[in-house]
Structure 1
């Protein structure tokens, strides 16, 4: 059978037998109506790959438990990645605009390092190419779109033809509130080294940050953005690996691996304020205690994740 051909609900349920054992087809069909075959099959495929752990083919109850846990935990993470995104945008626009006294600094190349200060010649060349041909051009296009699209952004009418600020660029605190998190993380990644440090001094503990920490911050932002994308698009989170997280000096042993779910939690902890950090732990623990899905058995999180979480120092 051609797997790219559309199939009805009954056949979709039959195909789920490749991954799980079930006795009540109607329950599987009800979940398929809600999730769609492709989405649900990702959970089935993941659980089947873990058969060596459970010593048998997964059953429908395990499928339902895994899916339910994934939905709930994604809701928690999405709430906190939104907080991290908003907070970081605020730190970035305030720190840099105040330092350089320029409300539209994001559109001025003098505040960026196109090579990202990379020592590797190949990476340096690639960074410069991406900056010139994609990143900076895209920034200008996004600002122009904000200015031009009357229907979508009526609140920015003053920056259009005939408006009182039509000759001015849209200030960073307005523009970055509309930019996606990927654009914002790229702005930070390409900023001059002194400005990258300035963002950290402004938004976090105020200590003297070195170049190493700004590079670590790049990985924490990428990890948080990856987590946000998974949650916002309602994709499977359990068992998923993502971009590499670099721990701060002295914290290497806190991470189990640098690409798993706990490494995303590590990155989030670095970005969030202390009040949000404490509540994240409470909310996550509440979901874990109530779930029937044994996430520790499958290595979704380390069993001592709370103790590891408490050992992560604030930035």
Structure 2
């Protein structure tokens, strides 16, 4: 039978148990100090997830692991990444909640309209705004939160006749997903950015030069947040580079370098460090005293293998 995809081959790799996988890794030159722990690790997190932490330990030309590398080295990187995700997820929650709050306060004051998110004239992409409003309606109607039930029982809005049942912005933003909020932020027209003084908002409230830069940072941070929320690897991977972040970085801390050609070496800004720098700027602007560097140094002391200069895994 002719293949429906001549340029591909069918996937027919056989199932391997955790014990089989341990033997395979040993045959590839990886030392395993404690077989039962290794089997338990692969049972609990799956080989597919775990092998990303073994990737930097392998010589991919020979398909063998580097001399003196162990399964426990990969396990240390895996545990480091778990700790890092838990920590950053907590910080990003503070950023997300804070930005929602100050954004609503600023726009409500500038427009004198508690229902500003229903004003289609503020947005260049009415389709995005309408979609967001409809999603808010669904979430608000179904919400079991006390504030939502209280509002529905007592109030209606007299701003928009098509949306009498929808709440003011501060309630709506609480119900929106991070993606909803970002879509709304990205949909403000250039005229609205100017009339609402959103560049001033970004600088005064969040220490970011422009509102579009703030939107870019929040999108980059969202990528980190999603990796945390879905338990995806953060360690040693490429991410979105926050625009204009270099001016906020300490010159004493060397960036990862990438070679563009024989004569040009460029700073690599699409790494977790630059995203953490953006998170730090926003945290400080929102009044939080957390210093990310202190926690990272603690994690490096707990998991020294993470300190190694390793090639990135895309």
TM-score of the superposed pair, with normalisation by structure 2: 0.74
Displacement of 1:157 in angstroms is: 2.2
Q: CA 1:64–1:153 in structure 2 vs 1: closer, same or farther (change >3 Å)? A: same
Q: For the structure 1 residues 16 and 232, does the alpha-carbon distance in structure 2 shift closer, same or farther, using more than 3 Å as the test?
A: farther
Equivalent runs, 1:135-174 vs 2, <5 Å: 135-149=128-142, 152-153=144-145, 155-160=147-152, 163-166=153-156, 167-174=164-171
Picking from 59, 74, 94, the partner of 1:63 is: 74
1:110 to 121, 143, 149: 121
Provide the rounded CA distance (Å) in 1 between the counterparts of 2:70 and 2:174.
Answer: 45
Change (3 A) 1:217 1:147: closer
Structure possessing the higher radius of gyration over alpha carbons: 2
Contact 1:219 1:243 in 2 (8 A): no
Give the alignment partner of residue 95 of structure 2, picking from 81, 84, 105: 84
Of 291, 301, 305, which aligns to 1:279? 291
2-side partners of 1:20 and 1:3: how far apart?
25
Instruction: Give me the CA root mean square deviation.
Output: 3.2
* Cα 1:93/1:224, change in 2 over 3 Å: same
Q: Distance in 1 between matches of 2:59 and 2:274?
A: 22
Say if 1:19 and 1:47, in contact at 8 Å, map to a contact too.
Answer: no
Number of aligned residue pairs: give it: 273
Q: Is 1:197 equivalent to 2:199 in the alignment?
A: yes
Contact 2:76 2:303 (8 Å CA) reproduced: yes
Decide whether the 8 Å contact of 1:20 with 1:63 is kept in 2: no
- Following the alignment from structure 2 to structure 1, what is the Cα–Cα distance between the partners of residues 295 and 121? 43
TM-score by length of 1: 0.74
Partner of 1:178: 175
Structure 2: runs of 5 or more not aligned: 1-9, 157-163, 256-266
Task: Name the one with the larger helix percent.
Answer: 1
Structure 1: where are the runs of 5+ without partners? 115-130, 301-315
Secondary structure of the structure 2 residue equivalent to 1:239: coil
**8 A contact 1:90–1:173 mirrored in 2:** yes
